[in-house]
Amino acid sequence: MADTEKIIAMTRSELVELVRQILAEIPDVTGYAKKTDIPSSLPANGGNADTVGGVGITNLRQITQTVINTLPAVPNGEGDFLVNCDMSDTSFPYWYGHLSIRYGSYTGEYVAIFRTTGNDDKVYYNTYLTNHWHGWINVADGGNAATVNGRSAFRIPTLDGSGNLWDASTPNVNDLYAQWDASKQYFKLKTFGGNNVAVDIATSNIATSNTASGTITGLSNGTAKTVSLPFSPVFVLFHSNGHVVQGGFALSCGTNNFTITPANVSTMGSTAVGYIAFGG
């Protein structure tokens, strides 16, 4: 029926049919709200939510501008703090810095990182467990490393027969070390594999005809022993039981001889010593 068509008298059934046709032309408004249903203001105001993604505020790591002047004896949760302490305070390794405290693996454990903000330019870490802080450790130890290429400071690397390092990255059985022998009063040069170490003696320019060697026996305290030589010695080396005799006697070099007078045979380590005499 056109909008301009006039309605004329009709029967009841005709009127019902006309109403049905008119209602069929009206769109479905089921999902729409009436104007009176629309609020003039919204209840949401941008306030605090109880959770974010199901995580409560107490479980979020706090970043604050709180300034502290000493390390808390007992941590109170996680947090970030600015440190400005007195020089007399020893709870921090530096007077100024940034402190970050985080939970550890178990209840009651914490890990702390301290970054200096002064001229020190260093980073330290500390751990809290069994009810106390364990103490600050410098992440960079100032160059004094515990090992170099896996070797401790007392290990001396060695070369093989071709002049190559035995093992460039890890300790080797052929690394050397020196150990003091109190009974013989000298250092032993050894390898970690238990090998003996041969040491060459520099002979400078002394002619072989001006050297002599032998053994002196029957030494006793206060008794002089004179040894004749084909040359006048400039110095004499005494040795016994594989070590150099360094004390317990007096020595005098004469014309074509030398004299040794023991003062303490016990200190010398033996009543018999070998000698090597060198001429000028």
In this predicted model, what pLDDT tens digit does every residue of 23-76 receive, in sequence order?
Answer: 778 777 777 777 777 777 766 566 677 777 777 766 665 556 689 999 999 998
Instruction: Check pLDDT > 60 for residue 270.
Output: yes
Rounded to whole angstroms, what are the CA distances from 83 to 39, 76, 101? Answer: 51, 16, 12
- Rounded mean pLDDT, 231-260: 90
Number of Cβ within 10 Å of residue 8's Cβ equals 6
- Rounded mean pLDDT, 165-184: 87
Instruction: Check pLDDT > 80 for residue 136.
Output: yes
Distance of CA 219 to the CA centre of its chain: 55
Query: What letter would DSSP give residue 17?
Result: H
pTM of the model: 0.37
The per-residue DSSP string of 179-221 comes to EEETTTTEEEEEETT--B---PPP-TT--GGGEEEEEE----T
Closest CA to 186 of 238, 242, 237, 236: 242
pLDDT at 42: 65
pLDDT at 188: 84
Proportion of the chain above pLDDT 70, given as a percent = 86
CB-side exposure of 88: number of CA atoms within 13 Å? 0
φ, ψ for residue 28 (rounded to 5)? Answer: -70, 125
